[in-house]
Amino acid sequence: MIRAHSVEQVRAAEAALMARLPEGTLMQRAAAGLAGAVAELLGSTYGRRVLLLVGSGDNGGDALYAGARLVRRGAHVEAWVLGTHAHEAGARALREAGGVFVDGPRRRPEVVLDAIVGIGGRPGLRDEARAALALLHGIPLVAVDTPSGVDVDTGEASEPHVEADLTVTFGAHKVCHLVDPVAAAAGAVHLVDIGLELPDAAVEALQPADVAARLPRPAGESQKYARGVVGVRAGSAEYPGAALLSVSGASSGLAGMVRYVGEDEVATTVRAQHPEVVGAGRVQAWVVGSGGGERAGDELAAALEDGVPVLADADALKHVHEGQELAVLTPHAGELAAMLDEERADVEARPLHFARLAARRYDCVVLLKGRRTLVARPDGAVRVNTTGTPWLATAGAGDVLGGLIGSLLAAGLPAYDAASVGAWLHGAAATEASSGGPLVAGQVGPAVPGVVRRLLAAH
């Protein structure tokens, strides 16, 4: 599990550790890790040109000490101070190693280290920093701990901020490393272990072993009903494809049976392509809404009458209201904006805030789709999905996701696990089906069994 801790949690852990260690130990650990990551990025250090953009805080000190290490390995290191002053001991270490301080790069550097603002900084950048970054545009940039100018605890970036190719962070992942829009600006994230002891985190991301541990696995005495029956109420004469795609996600083999309930013409089409799918009967979970059109409200009401977990997507979301006993909602930003009476742009700028708000308001798990899909629980816990490919931004992909999550609900997973495991599998299956190129939604469901097979074999 990747756990993303708050600034307060990191500060407390650092203070506790520093009280037991000689002064400066943590900064030296961070600097060693940073220098190593930069050397790995460059491929070599001798003769390479490195520019440090240094602010006034300890973040700047990390970079200065790392710069001194790189100088000793043969690099040409310049430091450009953009704060009111530089970390005194770090600056002395850089000068003694042979690094130089400049008011602008003397030669075009091969890599730039962003140490302008640390985790305690406010969002946004001063004019001097913005001008320096504009001058250095196009040069590979390594953010020290977090990209400068962002909101570390929310992942929000309403002001100008650094966009890094690599972020080297110390002790723990921060929320902004996982949550968009800042996660996209952090680039690849490299964690340097400096020995912090940290509490549980409210934001986390499943890794393959976590997914494998949560997957439903049939026992030797299992039969189809015991493995779970998922019902799908989706599609319409106008949008029959939504039914097919929802069923394809549900028919990934993770539940024992799939039932489809819908218009006769659509049901005939579904069964022609999925002969294992049967009609109405008892289910352990319902998936409702994709392509349902005007019928979606009635289908949602019918599903809720069964007293089993219900996932509402797409057209069904228009009929969701507070007080209903729903398990999972799966909106995209536009749908969530409508549900909360907000602007879509605001939801896209503050996805963590609004996913949590919706989960509290509707008292259920809310999966907010996006490049980094968020799965929020009413108590504020959030899982960020890190699998997927940009090619997954294709019509119908959400229909497949809903069916897949529904199958996990039917198999007995709690709503939070079903939504986060389903999102992980959906992204991984899309990546496999894509093979680096375009794909359509219909390719995602059939790729799920292969992903599951390899997960189970590896874990």
DSSP output for 230-249: EEEE---SS-HHHHHHHHHH
CA distance 331 to 313: 6
291 assigned to a ligand binding site: yes
> What's the pLDDT tens digit per position in 215-258?
999 877 667 888 999 999 999 999 999 999 999 999 999 999 99
CA distance 353 to 188: 24
- Specify the pTM: 0.96
114 assigned to a ligand binding site: yes
Q: Please compute the mean of the pLDDT values over residues 406-414 and round it to a whole number.
A: 98
60 assigned to a ligand binding site: yes
Please give the distance of CA 338 from its chain centroid, rounded to a whole number: 23
> What's the pLDDT tens digit per position in 153-177?
999 997 889 999 999 999 999 999 9
> What's the pLDDT tens digit per position in 378-393?
999 999 999 999 999 9
148 assigned to a ligand binding site: yes
3 state SS of 331: coil
Q: Which domains does the chain have, with CATH numbers?
A: 2-204 (3.40.50.10260), 208-458 (3.40.1190.20)
CA distance 243 to 265: 11
Task: Give the whole-number percent of the chain exceeding pLDDT 70.
Answer: 100
406 assigned to a ligand binding site: no
Q: Please compute the mean of the pLDDT values over residues 341-370 and round it to a whole number.
A: 98
123 assigned to a ligand binding site: yes
In 3D space, the residue among 14, 399, 338 whose CA is nearest the CA of residue 174 turns out to be 14
Ordered DSSP codes for 149-174: TS-TTT----S-----SEEEEESSEE
370 assigned to a ligand binding site: yes
In 3D space, the residue among 298, 280, 245 whose CA is nearest the CA of residue 430 turns out to be 245
List of residues 6+ apart from 38 with CB closer than 8 A:
50, 66, 70, 111, 113, 142, 168
Tell whether the torsion through CA atoms of 22, 26, 30 and 36 is positive or negative.
Answer: positive
120 assigned to a ligand binding site: yes
Task: Give the whole-number percent of the chain exceeding pLDDT 90.
Answer: 95
Residue where the block lists tokens 């999102």: 423
Q: Is the pLDDT at 275 greater than 80, yes or no? A: yes
pLDDT of 225: 84
3 state SS of 115: strand
CA distance 328 to 369: 13
242 assigned to a ligand binding site: yes
Q: Is the pLDDT at 130 greater than 90, yes or no? A: yes
> What's the pLDDT tens digit per position in 77-126?
999 999 889 999 999 999 999 999 999 999 999 999 999 999 988 888 99
Give counts: helices (H), strands (E), the chain.
17, 18
Pairing of strands 49-54, 111-115: parallel
410 assigned to a ligand binding site: no
pLDDT of 136: 96
195 assigned to a ligand binding site: no
pLDDT of 121: 83
Q: Please compute the mean of the pLDDT values over residues 411-430 and round it to a whole number.
A: 98
Q: Which two tokens stand for residue 177?
A: 């490393």
145 assigned to a ligand binding site: yes
Q: Please compute the mean of the pLDDT values over residues 322-336 and round it to a whole number.
A: 97
Band (370; pLDDT cuts 50, 70, 90): very high
Helix (H) or strand (E) holding 78: strand 76-81
372 assigned to a ligand binding site: yes
399 assigned to a ligand binding site: yes
pLDDT of 83: 83
59 assigned to a ligand binding site: yes
Q: Please compute the mean of the pLDDT values over residues 263-286 and round it to a whole number.
A: 96
146 assigned to a ligand binding site: no
pLDDT of 218: 87
pLDDT of 219: 79
Round the average pLDDT of the chain to a whole number and report it.
96
Residue where the block lists tokens 């307060």: 8
Residue where the block lists tokens 């430091």: 79
CA distance 319 to 156: 30
pLDDT of 84: 87
Greater pLDDT, 194 or 225: 194
pLDDT of 296: 96
pLDDT of 306: 96
Greater pLDDT, 226 or 72: 72
180 assigned to a ligand binding site: no
pLDDT of 158: 77
Q: Please compute the mean of the pLDDT values over residues 9-38 and round it to a whole number.
A: 95
